[in-house]
Amino acid sequence: MALATEGDRAQAGMSRRGWALALAGIGALSAAQAGDRLPLVQQHTQAGVKAELTLSAPGATAVPLGQPLSLTLRLTDELSGTPLRGLRPRMWMSRQGGDQAEPCNTQIRRFASGRLAQRADRDLNSFQLLTLNADASISVINPLLQLNNTKLEALIRLPGVGTDWVHARGLDRLFVTLADRAELAVVDLANNKLIKTISLGEGKPRRLVISPDERTVWVALDDSDKLVGVDVAALEKRQELTIGDGAHALAISEDGRRLVATSSASNQVTLVDAQAARVIARVPVSGTPLAVTHSALARRAYIGSLNAPLLTVIDLEDGKPLARIALPQPVSAVRADPSGRHVLAVHTASSTLMAVDAANSRLVAQGQVVAQPDQIVYSQRFAFIRGLGSSSVQMVELRALDEGRLALNELPVFQKTPASLPEHIGPADLMAPSPEPGSMLLGSAPDTALYYYTEGMMAPQGTYATYSRAARALKVVDRSLKETEPGVYSGVVRLDRGGLYSLPTLLEQPRLTQCWALNVDDTGATADGRRIDVTWQLGEQTYTGSSARVASQTLPGSSRDTARPGQAPRAEMRAGEAGELLIRLKDGQTGQPLTGITDLQAMALERPGLSQQRLFAQEREPGSGVYVVRQKFPRAGVWRVMVQSRSLGLTFDRSPLLDIGVRGPEVTRAAPDAAPDARPDTRPDMPPKTGAASN
């Protein structure tokens, strides 16, 4: 009953705990509450549905800024505990800026309306369209609510024209091959900017794959014999394997254990243990092997030869050839369907489609399709085949393939044929399934448009604008919650600032509405999400100002005390006396000293904001991570000290704090004829007596 009672309270707004935190944290430089600790688990029960939300981040006990935060929503029947499957929960994240709790149902109605002015800070139901453009750019397009009404959210410039790309969902990074520069570009989609280019060595990087655990991106270098592994987190080249000369294509198994690389000039296929980064087998394949796919169901790889009517099947465990299937035509492109049951291959020159049953490695059907087919993409019910010489797309019904026959339907889509701009034809797909079931997005470089098609219709339902840019590839980035196991819906989000967040959640049927609370402390957090621990030392006393502003303190001449929640630690000095303030910086995760920082600046702010002093700190000894400033305060009062380093990405508003209580100068006992009032002038407008900048 306790859970239901708490859930009922939340229906009118966020929990009292959450709003107490919000009210305590108002003001950029006010004392901040410590943020919620991870993993954070909250529960709510309504109308027979039990919901449990877990927020976590690998290796983190505080919410990491700029890094992935995982959300897991578990939905079960309250009485039986049976997982509720096949649902589509909707969730938003909204940073709360006021001191008045907005009712939960009001938040949900506002965000569910979809209006641009009512958007949440993070929409966990949305998707974006990305186009890899011929003008060396990436367009980030928000499809909004209806067709013909898109918004170009960002245009990301690349140092060269992109060829192929993969998306690391967890870190929200995009990896793009730049063939003409022999580089791999890395794009941060959270901030829509290029963050790094990685040199890959000799050759032309075109095709690439990402491991299912998103730890490694594998890039094949055409016109060379190299396969390169790049660490997704560190953004560094880690592995380099020899796979044979020529042009290459790649396929990786769904468990991430096996990687298959073709080499056209060497007439060879290389099987790689992707986890151990070593070659298991090199398999000779005749007829210029290039196209490759794999079936998760059969645990086999299928290799098509460009110059021989042959499809070679190899075992993914040891690389041994299992079959060589004779085909009516050579293979230009090949792809297994999502179930792994069917493998479709096309020959561009003859416009031939060939269907292979993966269960018995047998050709079951063949037929003529749209002119010059070159790409195959699947929805749940159909295969979509693009033809370079056709303004139509061929649809192939997958259910008919179970019966060993082809059921074909030609869908008119484009105004101009893809072959009318041959320079923009690349290896990456220009078709992608939409997050909406039974729908497909189809791009056209000559038309500078994206077309939206819903299964069962005779033509596309409308277009999305590409803003006059020729798209060479299309990708859909789906940010909605996915059912990762029965009744468990998961997503990933990245936050760029702290505060109190509301997480409104809506389930239509069965009905559930709930607003969860999350308090994020950004103290000590850098722009890229790292945490920096700051330790202050004044005289013989040390004060800790770590990732949270709540810290222990030892005041001079007193016993050890503990700062109350919401307070900065406090030290003491006398006005007019110079003191040496030491600042020790450490990486909040590794504990290693941060050395060689030349732009560390300390600011002392006279509360309540009467004046300030700024001084640059110098590292006391090279490699120590300890920085020193000589601080003198002109008058009595409370001065709040904070630090900033642009090179670290740490700003004053995220700095840990130290309050210094400044007493008046020590007064020598006056002679009998001395003036009766010998106290110093502590007027607020008295100018500072230090060399520090003051205003």
pLDDT digit string, tens, across residues 370-395: 999 999 999 999 999 999 999 999 99
* CB-based contact 583:628 (threshold 8 Å): yes
Q: Averaged over 136-143, what is the pLDDT?
A: 92
DSSP bridge partners of 77: 49
What's the rounded Cα separation, in Å, for the pair 177 and 201?
Answer: 13
Q: What is the pLDDT of residues 57-93, one digit of tens each?
A: 988 888 888 788 999 999 999 999 999 999 999 999 9
Q: What pLDDT is stored for residue 34 in this prediction?
A: 64
Angle (CA) 507 511 517, round 5°: 55
DSSP bridge partners of 305: 289
Question: Position of tokens 């305590």?
Answer: 24
Q: What pLDDT is stored for residue 324 in this prediction?
A: 96
- The percent of residues in the chain predicted with pLDDT above 70, rounded, is 84
* CB-based contact 334:348 (threshold 8 Å): no
Comparison of pLDDT for 549 and 518, the residue scoring more: 518
| pLDDT at residue 190 tops 90 | no
What's the rounded Cα separation, in Å, for the pair 523 and 534?
Answer: 10
Q: What pLDDT is stored for residue 685 in this prediction?
A: 39
Q: Which of helix, strand or coil describes residue 406?
A: coil
Q: What is the pLDDT of residues 413-449, one digit of tens each?
A: 999 999 999 999 999 999 999 988 899 999 999 999 9
Q: Comparing C-alpha atoms, which of 130, 154, 127, 126 is closest to residue 429?
A: 130
Q: What pLDDT is stored for residue 541 in this prediction?
A: 72
Token pair recorded at residue 22: 């919000």
Peptide bond before residue 510 is cis, with ω within 30 degrees of 0:
yes
Q: What pLDDT is stored for residue 669 in this prediction?
A: 54
What's the rounded Cα separation, in Å, for the pair 645 and 663?
Answer: 29
Q: Averaged over 529-554, what is the pLDDT?
A: 64
Q: What pLDDT is stored for residue 18 in this prediction?
A: 35
Q: Averaged over 572-593, what is the pLDDT?
A: 87
Q: Averaged over 166-179, what is the pLDDT?
A: 94
* CB-based contact 173:135 (threshold 8 Å): no
Q: Averaged over 400-424, what is the pLDDT?
A: 94
Angle (CA) 453 458 459, round 5°: 45
Q: What pLDDT is stored for residue 510 in this prediction?
A: 92
Burial of 458 (0-12, 13-18, 19+ CB in 10 A): exposed
602 pLDDT band, cuts 50/70/90, is very high
Token pair recorded at residue 498: 């702290």
* CB-based contact 534:524 (threshold 8 Å): yes
DSSP H stretches of helix in 226-363: none
Task: Write down all domains in the chain, each with its CATH number in brackets.
Answer: 2-124+483-520 (2.60.40.1930), 532-668+675-694 (2.60.40.10)
115 pLDDT band, cuts 50/70/90, is low
Token pair recorded at residue 516: 């969860």
Q: Tell me the C-alpha to C-alpha distance, in Å, between residue 511 and each of 45, 87, 90.
A: 11, 11, 12
